Structure 1
Amino acid sequence: MRQGEVAPKGSWIGNPTGGVSAPEAVILPDPARRFLRTAARLEALSAGHPMAEWLGFMALLARAQHGAATALGPVAGPAPEAVRQAVEARMPPLAADGHRRDPAWRLTLRFLLDGFDASAVPAPVRDVIANLRDRDAAALEALADDFLTGGVAPADVGAALYVAAALQVYFSRLAADLPVEALRLLPERGLCPCCGSTPVAGIVTASGATPGARYLHCSLCATAWNHARAVCITCGQSRSLAQRGIDGDSGAVKAETCDECHSYAKMLYQAQDTQVDAVADDLASLGLDVLVAEAGWLRHAPNPLLLVG
């Protein structure tokens, strides 16, 4: 693992007609493309990968998420006045731990479970799916609450994987319909301005109006929001950041470590690979997590599909 690399400094990008281009503060998800892109990236990354079978399974799950996101009917989101009040209070309008969920999210879960070919998954997975099908609405809502508050019981971790995937679809669809012009970044910049969840990874852009800008990608609703580079997303310090990677790889995925709070977060670089995807590349780079953890840093926040899987 490469160590001691200085975190790259962010800077504003000039445009051809003069002046400075500011990055968009918030980019809402596109549910019609978000999960399909992750599935395709997982399939590409699985070729020759030591965890090819598992990545292939996660690609199947992402394709089922895509099917749910594009096939199900609309979901009622918060009223414009409720969004305005939340933003004025510097709160996320879809706060994951306080949002009153529409029962439609359970239809998403059912769609995901129906999307798996029983003959294509191992017997333990079939057992988990059968168990979920047998749970009533109250039990499913309780499991969703446990997932969103970080209190999943060990016996439920398998079932919670599918609940997490369904909630990702549900919250992505809600976030996509928010009025982006009304949203504001939260005081705690490392949290999603739409649902208040932690990011799964950051992506440093290589194209568009502001190449070099860093966007954090929400682990729940897939919203992306601009965050200053060379600043720890956990504690806000910049004195002791470093970029750490695995020798000999493409350099597209790195761990940004902070010696102030002893945390790290995954950062993806489009300049090294234009196809990077926050969820897929995070799942495919678990070897980097192991190396960084062994060196003494704790991850800023887990990927929900790893937390319960």
Structure 2
Amino acid sequence: MRQGEVAPKGAWIGDPQGGVKAPEPLLLPNPLTRFTRSAARLRHLSDGHPLMEWLRFMAQLSDAQHAAALALGPLAAPDAMAVERAVDARMPPLAADGHRRNPIWREGLAVLLGHLDQPAAPEPALSLMAALRQCDAGAIEAHADDFLHGEIEPQQIGATLYIAAALQVYFTLSAAALPAASLRLLPQRGLCPCCGSTPVAGVITASGTTPGTRYLYCSLCSTAWNHVRAICITCGESRSLSLKGIEGDSGAIKAEVCDACHSYAKMLYSARDMEVDPYADDLATLGLDLLVTEAGWARHAPNPLLLSA
């Protein structure tokens, strides 16, 4: 631009011949594919896996989540003014620890339990599901509050898997109903802009308009949001990061470790495997967690479906 000219007002998005196109800041989930994709990936990864039976059970759980999502159907859009107020305050509109849940989520829990309650299910699972069915609404809601606040009591641990799975369905449906154009990333870039939860893993894209972009995937509402690469998602440090992996594997899943805060997070590389799924692949790579933890790094945040493992 020459001196004296007026700066253009249009947003720069680049063009097919060159330039820069910014990645989408966040991607809202698709409830119709979120859980079926994880189920299919879990079954694929279970073949020959040391944890084959457990991964297949988790695939069944993902199928049950899909059934619950279909039963609840699309949720009504939240109040636009409430979303605007939260976004203006740089707060997540579905804050997991403060959102007033629609009681319909308990119907999703009932569908989920009904899908899993089969004669072939393990006896411990059947006993836990039977106990949950005997709980009244107040007890179920209190258990959900405890889970979302990270205050699970020892006697609650077994049933937490089903509570967490049902809440994932509800929050995924709720996030899908948000107005994407009105949302903004949070100041705390490592937290979900929709519900404020921590990510389960990150995926480095290999296709689309901005290949090489890192998206973090929410452990609760399944939203994905852009996070700059080579920066620790826990403390923001960039000079103390390195990647750790298991020698001889495909290289599709690495642990990004930070020597500043001694934490790690899993990163999945689509260029190595186009079928990676942050939820399924995280569960199937517990061996990597074990190796990295034994070497002195702590996971940035737990996977909610592993709290009862």
Superposition deviation, residue 78 in structure 1: 2.6
Q: Whole-Å Cα distance in 1 between the matches of residues 75 and 269 of structure 2?
A: 34
Gaps (5+ residues) in structure 2? 1-12
1:3 is aligned to: none
Map residues 37-56 of structure 1 onto 2, 5 A cutoff: 37-56=37-56
Return the TM-score normalized by structure 2: 0.94
Q: Whole-Å Cα distance in 2 between the matches of residues 18 and 71 of structure 1?
A: 46
Superposition deviation, residue 74 in structure 1: 3.9
**Distance change >3 Å, CA 289–CA 14, structure 1 → 2:** farther
Secondary structure, aligned partner of 2:266: strand
Q: Whole-Å Cα distance in 2 between the matches of residues 156 and 100 of structure 1?
A: 22
Q: Whole-Å Cα distance in 2 between the matches of residues 252 and 33 of structure 1?
A: 22
1:135 is aligned to: 135
Contact 2:246 2:288 in 1 (8 A): yes
2:253 is aligned to: 253
2:268 is aligned to: 268
Superposition deviation, residue 122 in structure 1: 0.9
2:202 is aligned to: 202
Map residues 72-111 of structure 1 onto 2, 5 A cutoff: 72-111=72-111
Secondary structure, aligned partner of 1:267: strand
Q: Whole-Å Cα distance in 2 between the matches of residues 71 and 96 of structure 1?
A: 22
2:234 is aligned to: 234
Contact 1:243 1:255 in 2 (8 A): yes
User: Residue type matched to 1:118 in 2?
Assistant: Q
Superposition deviation, residue 289 in structure 1: 0.2
Task: Say which one has the larger Rg.
Answer: 2
2:176 is aligned to: 176
User: Residue type matched to 1:134 in 2?
Assistant: Q
Superposition deviation, residue 101 in structure 1: 0.5
Over residues 144-189 of structure 1, what are the superposed CA-to-partner deviations in whole Å (9 max), with x where a residue is unaligned? 0010001111111111100000000000000001010000000000
Q: Whole-Å Cα distance in 1 between the matches of residues 56 and 156 of structure 2?
A: 23
Over residues 250-282 of structure 1, what are the superposed CA-to-partner deviations in whole Å (9 max), with x where a residue is unaligned? 001100000000000000000000000011000
User: Residue type matched to 2:276 in 1?
Assistant: V
Q: Whole-Å Cα distance in 1 between the matches of residues 164 and 29 of structure 2?
A: 17
1:223 is aligned to: 223
Superposition deviation, residue 290 in structure 1: 0.3
Contact 1:75 1:102 in 2 (8 A): no
Q: Whole-Å Cα distance in 2 between the matches of residues 293 and 162 of structure 1?
A: 26
Superposition deviation, residue 224 in structure 1: 0.1
Superposition deviation, residue 117 in structure 1: 4.1
Q: Whole-Å Cα distance in 2 between the matches of residues 127 and 294 of structure 1?
A: 34
Over residues 118-163 of structure 1, what are the superposed CA-to-partner deviations in whole Å (9 max), with x where a residue is unaligned? 2121111100000000000000000000100011111111111000
Q: Whole-Å Cα distance in 2 between the matches of residues 262 and 272 of structure 1?
A: 26
2:277 is aligned to: 277
User: Residue type matched to 2:138 in 1?
Assistant: A
Superposition deviation, residue 76 in structure 1: 3.9
Moved over 6 A (4+): none
Is residue 24 of structure 1 aligned with residue 14 of structure 2? no
User: Residue type matched to 1:133 in 2?
Assistant: R
Identity between Structure 1 and Structure 2 (%): 67
Over residues 58-77 of structure 1, what are the superposed CA-to-partner deviations in whole Å (9 max), with x where a residue is unaligned? 00000010111122244345
1:9 is aligned to: none
Q: Whole-Å Cα distance in 2 between the matches of residues 225 and 138 of structure 1?
A: 34
2:161 is aligned to: 161
Q: Whole-Å Cα distance in 1 between the matches of residues 138 and 151 of structure 2?
A: 16
User: Residue type matched to 2:270 in 1?
Assistant: Q
Secondary structure, aligned partner of 2:16: coil
Higher RCO structure, 1 or 2 (CA under 8 Å, sep 6+): 1
Number of aligned positions between the proteins: 297
Secondary structure, aligned partner of 1:21: coil
Q: Whole-Å Cα distance in 2 between the matches of residues 72 and 172 of structure 1?
A: 11
Contact 1:190 1:199 in 2 (8 A): yes
1:6 is aligned to: none
Q: Whole-Å Cα distance in 2 between the matches of residues 204 and 120 of structure 1?
A: 38
2:213 is aligned to: 213
Contact 1:75 1:104 in 2 (8 A): no
Superposition deviation, residue 116 in structure 1: 1.4
